[in-house]
Structure 1
Amino acid sequence: MSIYDKLNILTDAAKYDVACTSSGTERKSDGTGIGSCELSGICHSFSADGRCISLLKILFTNECIYDCKYCINRRSNDVKRASFTPDEVCTLTMEFYRRNYIEGLFLSSGILNSPDYTMELLYATLYRLRHKHHFQGYIHVKSIPGASQELIQMTGFLADRMSVNLELPTAESLKALAPNKTRKNILTPMRLVQNKMTENRHEIRLYRNAPRFVPAGQSTQMIIGATPETDYQIVKVAESLYQKFELKRVFYSAFVHVNEDAALPARTGEGPPLLREHRLYQADWLLRYYHFQADELLSNENPNFNVVFDPKCNWALKHLEEFPVEVNLADYKMLLRVPGIGYKSAVRIVKARRLGRLDFGDLKKIGVVLKRALYFITCNGRMMYPTKMDEDYITRNLLSAGEKLPFEVTGMGYRQISLFDDVRFGNCRENYV
């Protein structure tokens, strides 16, 4: 099989793995190698559903000894199999980089022979890239659950980011759909990476030139919709991961029905639950940047997100006793809870009001979305228009203004963007949560 044939198979096999991002690290070129990685992120193009397209995103192999019921590459499936060699991955990465197709590598893999055997191949690939080809660009690699600590540590000194997929939100779901995997095997390497990152930060303080271990942190991914967990359960799991494992990101992957199995949800003809995925990303953003807690957004009595309104707007409608907020007096954290005010706008408001009192014209220039915020704020003690602080009244007015649903729901199907698509003419756009 040619390297081109393998590329077609293994890029397509990687399309269901969404846990790739490139921001959060800085690897400057020293003048002797090729490539660089900027702190602001090397990925500048996104597909319409938010997936990054400027990394070479491949599986090392789609062969797997496991039989996860939701996975297209499971052992029992009759699919065309392929495996790269470390040198082939290096060749592809360097050649695509030189042609300006990509600026980094996202490398995942099925489990070939054993976790240790697979992890050793991934380590060999990264070692060749860094030391033989002197590639200094961004690399995100998957840590293989069950692999030895030594292999994971050695690989971590070569990668910018590592991740291990949580796969499913609960241990019960994992046992039902991925019987070869256990929560312990998944959380053990996650804890190892966290501890080693903490140790490495102390080493860097003492020795400036100490090698960096996973400088961009670690992330994970959960499949959404394959099992019956509520949004509340999923957000609580994500919150716990952020607090206990110091993760940079939790990614949510809408379940795609690629296998026929009695343990999986029945086909409905509606496609992947992309709106639910979108709401979870919005809630995740609130956890990480807006100082919300999971218990504020959902509860056992109200376990799922509103289909129509985003989680912050829905929270505000349910807590009208907190509003209206006076923008010239409210603290930063309270400003963050106002629909239509993002964290950048909140920072600008805090800085601008040091120079004088703000009015609605100033807020518009700052970037506040007034068509949403006007129901929840006052400027100098006055609302923009006479407004009744009633949930039904505000809901009707927000709906009449037009709630913007995510593009995934209204305008696209589920398709992995090819490395050979010309993104200038494709249906691509930046999609912010």
Structure 2
Amino acid sequence: MFYNEHMFEIKCNLTTKEKLEILADAAKYDVACTSSGVDRKGRKGFLGNSEACGVCHSFGADGRCISLLKVLFTNHCVYDCKYCVNRCSNDVPRASFEPDELCQLVIEFYKRNYIEGLFLSSGVLKNPSYTMEKICETLLLLRTKYRFNGYIHVKAIPGAPDELLSKAGYLADRVSVNLELPTSDSLSKLAPNKNFKNILEPMEKITGTIAANRLSVGKDARMERSSINKYLTGSIFNSANNSRYGSLSGKNRTALESGTGLSLPAVSGNTGMNRAFAPAGQSTQMIIGATPETDLTLIRTTQHLYQNYDLKRVFYSAYIPLNEDSALPELDAEIPLLREHRLYQADWLLRYYGFQADELLSENRPNFNEYLDPKCDWAVRHLGQFPVEIQTASYDMLLRIPGVGPKSAKRIVQTRKYARLDFDTLKKMGVVLKRAHYFITCNGKMMYKIPINENYITACLMGDNQKENWEIKHQNQQYQQLSLF
């Protein structure tokens, strides 16, 4: 059902500050805590640059907090997604920016060193085509009239024409299309105006265009990944069987294998600048906790998206009860912050540690133990593979030991060529022995005499994580943004 935008009272003659208060608050449910993935130095005649070390409430390697202006173009929306605070059936204050008004806001904040870039999303005003046209107009003004050279992340609107999606990709650094929910059944139940076909088609075309653009300048079709993945035999990015779980859209081909037929039309000449298409790649977001999918379903979907759509990141957003509806959890339901945290850790294991989704979980145990990090949870369920001898274990196996990361695993491999390791040396290398000592031996000896028993080790690890788990679960459960006032 489409609701008339005048069904509820709409505030007119709002000041820019009043619009910003409404639209920045409405944007806080879009997740974008990530590094930008783009290094771009300042250019003569342009304003700003882009640093790959991070954006939007992230911390760079030097400790700097780097932030974006995260805002909606408008919170008017013709859709009635049950989980969304901006759905058309909600009586909430509504506002919209004018393209030039938003550009001036970005530039003024940038000049005052409040922000280093823009994260722009939007409700669907009138229809997807109209909304995307307004977003593209804003980005074009920023890049040409205001000569803004900083980082821009834009949310593409499914259902918009290919020409507008292409234009947005050439003007922005990163483009994202929200998957919203991990299964088509859940999407049809909670977002009756949306469907997987309309979401996955633009996602696939964006992937194909990024690949074609990279090939045209002599790069590999896939986005760059950490060098860690080059040495992992089981990495999901170099696995031969990338379509193991089939396609979410019901097709067997992937965007990287389908040729130029799934690319967007080239419109770089219309941007007024010679720019690459979405150089920081593509991302998406899934809501967790609003529907009954298991963690296994979520990480299988995540793995498929990384393999077949070459996404740079998949974000998880813990469902916050905002609307009263029989299809949703109760308003007093607990926000699954700890579950969200575990899914991000599992996502890291998929991308950097050589794990596959069906290794981390199974049909018999489809959910993570929320009180253990996923690597520890996997290890205690596979004690037959432990303890591992540090002196002889392969690099891949070292990465599967709780408390051992890529840097410490590389140091172990390099150091043991000319020296025998002991537990003190491992600690100096960065190995977290309070977790690792349950699973390793040094020269045939464990650090302590402990039983290799799942229940015993699980209880010990949960005790070690108790403080951290409590802090995550009981943190202020209100999504907040950096105050601009």
TM-score w.r.t. length of structure 1? 0.91
In structure 1, distance between residues paired with 2:33 and 2:170: 18
In structure 1, distance between residues paired with 2:129 and 2:34: 25
1:406 to partner: Cα distance? 6.3
Change (3 A) 1:311 1:83: same
1:88 to partner: Cα distance? 1.3
In structure 2, distance between residues paired with 1:357 and 1:40: 36
Aligned to 2:458: 395
Aligned to 1:188: 201
Q: Which moved more, 1:356-365 or 1:370-379?
A: 356-365
Instruction: Describe the SS at the equivalent of 1:168.
Output: coil
The letter of the residue matching 2:346 is A
Q: CA-to-partner distance for each residue in 1:265-303, whole Å, 9 max, x for gaps?
A: 223x34311111111111111111111111111112111
1:83 to partner: Cα distance? 0.3
Aligned to 2:44: 31
Aligned to 1:243: 307
In structure 1, distance between residues paired with 2:465 and 2:199: 42
Count of residues in correspondence between the two structures? 413
Change (3 A) 1:406 1:297: farther
Instruction: Describe the SS at the equivalent of 1:96.
Output: helix
Alignment check: 8 A CA contact 1:61 1:83 kept: yes
1:149 aligns with 2:162: yes
Aligned to 2:119: 106
1:205 to partner: Cα distance? 2.2
Instruction: Describe the SS at the equivalent of 2:28.
Output: coil
1:258 aligns with 2:322: yes
Counting aligned pairs with the same residue, the percent is 60
Change (3 A) 1:406 1:354: farther
In structure 2, distance between residues paired with 1:57 and 1:342: 32
In structure 2, distance between residues paired with 1:123 and 1:420: 25
Q: 2:29 aligns with which of 16, 33, 36?
A: 16
Within-5 A mapping of 1:283-362: 283-362=346-425
Instruction: Describe the SS at the equivalent of 1:223.
Output: strand
In structure 2, distance between residues paired with 1:54 and 1:85: 23
Q: Which moved more, 1:217-226 or 1:343-352?
A: 343-352
The letter of the residue matching 2:307 is Q
Change (3 A) 1:36 1:353: farther
- Any stretches of 5+ residues in structure 2 without a counterpart? 1-13, 60-64, 220-272
Change (3 A) 1:400 1:222: closer
Within-5 A mapping of 1:169-188: 169-188=182-201
1:392 to partner: Cα distance? 2.2
Alignment check: 8 A CA contact 2:29 2:479 kept: no
Q: Which moved more, 1:353-362 or 1:298-307?
A: 353-362
- Any stretches of 5+ residues in structure 1 without a counterpart? 47-51, 422-433
Q: CA-to-partner distance for each residue in 1:365-421, whole Å, 9 max, x for gaps?
A: 111110110011112222111222221232233344444316331332223124337
Change (3 A) 1:240 1:45: closer
Q: 2:336 aligns with which of 273, 281, 300?
A: 273
The letter of the residue matching 2:327 is A
Aligned to 2:99: 86
1:221 to partner: Cα distance? 0.4
Aligned to 1:121: 134
Alignment check: 8 A CA contact 1:32 1:134 kept: yes
The letter of the residue matching 1:369 is V
Change (3 A) 1:63 1:44: closer
